[in-house]
Chain A
């Protein structure tokens, strides 16, 4: 009730606009306390906090708890301390999966940035039908990743896949795309096909918003196109490139659907998320699965911290 004084001033203001007696005074006082900003703003986030508690903190503590236990769903869980973590860190398969995930990360993001930058520079002009072409190229972005991978699985079939037949026209022998050794690259390529448009249009948005005058000045001063690109364009686009790298890292670390649609973790393509799935839902080794999940979470949290700072910087920059 300490906030009644503030409510009273609001009442005073309102009575100027509306004839008094239109609303009941007692009901008003209660509404004023509720709608005082100090309480109101917290009331609005209560549903969110509830959702976070249920869906974030419960699973987190559950995973932490069982990662310290031997638990196979049949027998009761027994305390084993850091045993699960030691097993995981000593397991060659874990390091292989981690290495493959890192490889796919570097390959996809590198290729997407190079392709994205080239096409963004190509499209950074006015041309006939630019909106239609832009719209068409954006199409792959929202398709279900599983559908994309199954689609490419069909195109890349050894015997009758269109890609192998097409290459055959140029005399190139058939390639088995999902064999050990090539499988991982194929999965990265599928991901690149779907997500290159993302890089293209993020960088294009950046190119379109570059300050014109400094480029004019550089051109007048006799800077060649390559010099201007390296010294002016790239530094200006650095925050956007940062955002692409961080968002893609975040999505690629949990790459799962393209694996299911193609090799299903076989042919030396098992990535981190698939290993978690295999341990916890195929072998039902909940303890070990939880330990893997916590490790994966820590890796992502480090990236998440950087991402958030970058996003906030970009947001405040855009509002200025």
Chain B
């Protein structure tokens, strides 16, 4: 009896969190008639069509948005790691700034997005950098750097300092210690941090919305544009959402062990 109750509740939980996603994917294969139908039976028994994906691929800027998103997220992630890796190492190994600098770094994550949006909108306007990849890319560097530093800080602290001291005695220089001892041990942590930064940039909307129009617009902007038009094409929108969230779903599935650790800035190991 207890077992039946447990599985009933588990199924309910599972249904609540998973069925909306399944429904979205089903919708993306429906014709408009099947989307607007009022009959429950027709909502489940329908002939799948690829028309929505055809519209998405050939009538909208989907591929350009996809490429823009990949470029912007990818390059900003690389920049973030270049800045955050050495800094986090320094914080973890020598307590540089006695925690104050670390505090300042993490506090940027709590800044309302508008505090950066207003000044940089004016600055980019003056510099002609609105609607350019580089502008958004730099904002994502700012947006992710504090998170990356803090998460990496946790990973670096797991490396015993004795290893480095032993290497120093063996005559390794500082650079060699980082390259040959520390980096191989931080690699998994760095990969997880990088994937998180990539996803956060991929998902970001407010800055993309304010700083891009046509040339550099990202996938989230593409999604939003369906909602902006008067007559909403729900089927194509569903197709767009389904494809845009696919990489993040894959990441969530393969990184399940690290999601909680990442989202809590490393405070909880999960």
Chain A interface (Cβ within 8 Å of chain B)? Answer: 10, 13-14, 17-18, 31, 34-35, 37, 40-42, 44-45, 47-49, 51-52, 54-56, 58-60, 62-63, 66, 73, 119, 122-123, 127, 131, 133-147, 150-155, 159-160, 162, 165-166, 169, 193, 196-198, 201-202, 205-206, 240, 243, 247, 250, 253-254, 256-257, 260-261, 272-273, 276-277, 280-281, 286, 289-290, 292-294, 296-297, 300-301, 303-304, 307-308, 310-312, 314-315, 318-319
- In this complex, the member of A44, A165, A243, A304 whose beta carbon has the largest number of chain B beta carbons within 10 angstroms is A44
Task: Please tell me if the beta carbons of B210 and A293 are within 8 angstroms of each other in the complex.
Answer: no
Chain A residues with Cβ below 8 Å from B193 are: none
Task: Please tell me if the beta carbons of B205 and A35 are within 8 angstroms of each other in the complex.
Answer: no
Task: Please tell me if the beta carbons of B9 and A122 are within 8 angstroms of each other in the complex.
Answer: yes
Given known A144-B248, A160-B35, A205-B268, contact A297–B115 (CB-CB < 8 A): yes
Chain A residues with Cβ below 8 Å from B111 are: 56, 59, 297, 300
Task: Please tell me if the beta carbons of B118 and A63 are within 8 angstroms of each other in the complex.
Answer: yes
Chain A residues with Cβ below 8 Å from B212 are: none
Chain A's nearest CB lies how many Å from the CB of B94? 4
Chain B's nearest CB lies how many Å from the CB of A85? 15
As a 0/1 sequence over residues 102 to 131 of chain B, the CB contacts with chain A under 8 angstroms (1 = contact) are: 011111111111111111111000000000
Of the A-B pairs whose beta carbons lie under 8 Å apart in the complex, a sample of 25, sorted by A's number, is A17-B171, A41-B94, A44-B89, A48-B84, A48-B86, A59-B111, A62-B118, A122-B10, A138-B252, A138-B253, A140-B17, A142-B252, A145-B203, A146-B205, A193-B17, A201-B270, A247-B265, A254-B112, A260-B227, A277-B210, A280-B114, A297-B112, A303-B110, A311-B265, A318-B267
Q: How far is the CA of A5 from the CA of B96 in the complex (A)?
A: 23
Given known A127-B6, A297-B112, contact A153–B205 (CB-CB < 8 A): no
Task: Please tell me if the beta carbons of A51 and B96 are within 8 angstroms of each other in the complex.
Answer: no
Chain B residues with Cβ below 8 Å from A196 are: 17
B116-155: which have CB < 8 Å to A?
116-122, 138-139, 141-142, 145, 149, 154
- In this complex, the member of B109, B115, B234 whose beta carbon has the largest number of chain A beta carbons within 10 angstroms is B115
Nearest 4 interchain pairs by C-beta = A55-B142, A144-B203, A35-B174, A62-B119
Task: Please tell me if the beta carbons of B120 and A150 are within 8 angstroms of each other in the complex.
Answer: no
What residue in chain A is nearest B19 (Cβ atoms)? A162
Task: Please tell me if the beta carbons of A243 and B118 are within 8 angstroms of each other in the complex.
Answer: no
Task: Please tell me if the beta carbons of B18 and A31 are within 8 angstroms of each other in the complex.
Answer: no
**B70 within 8 Å of A (CB atoms):** no
Chain A's nearest CB lies how many Å from the CB of B102? 9
Please choose the segment from B47-55, B56-64, B236-244 that sits at the chain A interface, where 4 or more of its residues have CB less than 8 A away.
B236-244
Task: Please tell me if the beta carbons of B40 and A300 are within 8 angstroms of each other in the complex.
Answer: no
Task: Please tell me if the beta carbons of B209 and A260 are within 8 angstroms of each other in the complex.
Answer: yes
Chain B's nearest CB lies how many Å from the CB of A300? 5
Given known A150-B237, A151-B241, contact A63–B119 (CB-CB < 8 A): yes
Chain A's nearest CB lies how many Å from the CB of B117? 8
Chain B's nearest CB lies how many Å from the CB of A100? 16
Task: Please tell me if the beta carbons of B113 and A140 are within 8 angstroms of each other in the complex.
Answer: no
Chain B's nearest CB lies how many Å from the CB of A187? 15
What residue in chain B is nearest A280 (Cβ atoms)? B118
Chain A's nearest CB lies how many Å from the CB of B103? 6
Given contacts A41-B94, A162-B43, A169-B40, 4 further A-B contacts (CB under 8 A): A143-B248, A144-B248, A196-B17, A314-B267
Task: Please tell me if the beta carbons of A296 and B114 are within 8 angstroms of each other in the complex.
Answer: yes
Chain B's nearest CB lies how many Å from the CB of A266? 13
Task: Please tell me if the beta carbons of A315 and B260 are within 8 angstroms of each other in the complex.
Answer: no
Task: Please tell me if the beta carbons of B38 and A160 are within 8 angstroms of each other in the complex.
Answer: yes
